[in-house]
Amino acid sequence: MAPGSFAASDRRVPGATSLDILAAARDSEAGIAERQRRRLAALLQAAQGAPLYRRLLRGRDLDSLPLEALPVMDKTRLMAHFDDGLTDPGITLHGLREFCADAAGIGRPYEGRCWAWESSGSTGQPGLFVHDEAAMAVYDALEATRRHTPRPWDRLFDPFGLAERYAFVGVIDGHFASVVTVRRLSRIYPWLASQWRCFSILQPTAALVAQLNEFAPTVLATYPTAAVLLACEAQCGRLAARPREVWTGGETLSAAMRKRIEQAFDASLLDSYGASEFLPIAWECGQGRLHVNADWVILEAVDARHRPVPAGRLSHTTLLTNLANHLQPLVRFDIGDRIVLGGEHCPCGSSLPVIRVQGRSDDMLVVAGRDGAPVTLLPLALSTVLEDKAGVFAFQLRQTGPCRLRLLLGPGAPHTVADMARCRQVLADHAASSGAAALEIAVEVAESLPLGRSGKLKRIVTAPAARHGLRVSG
């Protein structure tokens, strides 16, 4: 086929795609690898329709070209060469930006050509991603067939979920992947419109709680930090709604957060892992493990020099190759997440690889050390000590100087004098055990915590100016 055309045989046949996804869920590792090989060759064939890739792939045998032979792509380069990275010359960055500036278009295709959404910019620069109709069919089929069902008897008598009421809590006035997906499905299937409701996370908590109480969702879909906030509202008696399932994604979910949410709602929690670059990267099985949809997306766990790390080791970053989207080829795209990939067999029996995600949104804090050398405080460790030892989930910890931290406690967080003293102490103890000099730690109560453009909360934050005077190697 000509470069840029739909090269894979099942591109336009959603039914065949769904059947293949069902079969792959129980296939062997070799079978999944063969699907990857075939779809990668088809993707590279289609990618020749984009000027950016045409030059790169000219004269190469695409059927045998190893993925590792291709260069790494990142968001900065993608946005700098946006138009040249598309296989449809009728789509332009200028046109897409105008489209995404209008909230009325959320959930509608761009000029009937594609679906588009923005990324939150958690790595420093917002991105813009476009997906063709065949890719959306793959995403839909993966979500529909691989999501674990914690209430099988309910699904037996209501296989299409007609009795459910789904509440999505997030940013709903921007072209972000989650809200675009919800509104797109509501337009495709009008009968879903009365069952799916979107609620703004940016409004006052009291207003959000009142709206959820009125709607009484049976399924709540939101970010982990927002779910914790609502769990606190439930425990305080203000949120009467009691969903039977909570779906989380978009942020790292810790074990302590999961326990708090499940206990508050007495509900099953299903976590997932996705990105603007590929919506359903991984799904949670009945054993509570995340499995990569490796038949349609390739993840590479790599070090800082983009070399593969051994299975079971924490990566410095992650490279993603989207095998479903031929409109905006994403090949070895650096998504910035730190993951642990493979090295674990799941009792559920699936050969799809297990993944653990640390995420990317929080900063590492570099503070002064007792011996004069700077000390790095990892965000995961800081979050863990606040959750496990102080019982605090709604917070933002800011570094304001080489030896100064400021902890903001949000709505629902314990904030008595004793609570604030305990927060200060557990942070000081952790920093001291890490070799940091004595830190000045201020603890304050905030009516609300600052959210990012897509509604996600960055809990550990630093500014370059806060490190002034510290000589950080590397």
For residue 24, pLDDT over 80 is answered with yes
Tokens 């990857």: give the residue.
Answer: 36
Instruction: Say what the pLDDT of residue 146 is.
Output: 86
Q: Specify whether the CB–CB gap between 201 and 451 falls below 8 A.
A: yes
Average pLDDT, the chain: 87
Single out the residue of 267, 343, 328, 334 nearest to residue 87, CA to CA. Answer: 328
For residue 438, pLDDT over 80 is answered with yes
For residue 2, pLDDT over 70 is answered with no
Alpha-carbon distance 157 to 140, whole Å? 22
Q: Specify whether the CB–CB gap between 175 and 116 falls below 8 A.
A: yes
Alpha-carbon distance 138 to 148, whole Å? 17
Instruction: Say what the pLDDT of residue 84 is.
Output: 96
Task: For residue 431, give the DSSP letter.
Answer: H
Instruction: Say what the pLDDT of residue 93 is.
Output: 96
Single out the residue of 45, 127, 144 nearest to residue 79, CA to CA. Answer: 127
Q: Is the dihedral of CA 265, 269, 275, 276 positive or negative?
A: negative
Q: Specify whether the CB–CB gap between 196 and 166 falls below 8 A.
A: yes
Residues 6+ apart with CB under 8 A from 447: 411
Task: For residue 457, give the DSSP letter.
Answer: B
Mean pLDDT over 106-125 rounds to 81
Single out the residue of 291, 270, 275, 296 nearest to residue 346, CA to CA. Answer: 291
Task: For residue 50, give the DSSP letter.
Answer: S
Task: For residue 71, give the DSSP letter.
Answer: P
Domains of the chain: 1-148+285-350 (3.40.50.12780), 158-275 (3.40.50.980), 365-467 (3.30.300.30)
Mean pLDDT over 372-382 rounds to 78
Residues 6+ apart with CB under 8 A from 262: 246, 268, 269
> pLDDT tens, 284-324?
998 999 999 999 999 999 999 999 999 999 999 999 999 99
More confident residue, 109 or 413: 109
Instruction: Say what the pLDDT of residue 160 is.
Output: 66
> pLDDT tens, 424-434?
999 999 899 88
Instruction: Say what the pLDDT of residue 8 is.
Output: 34
Q: Specify whether the CB–CB gap between 333 and 300 falls below 8 A.
A: no
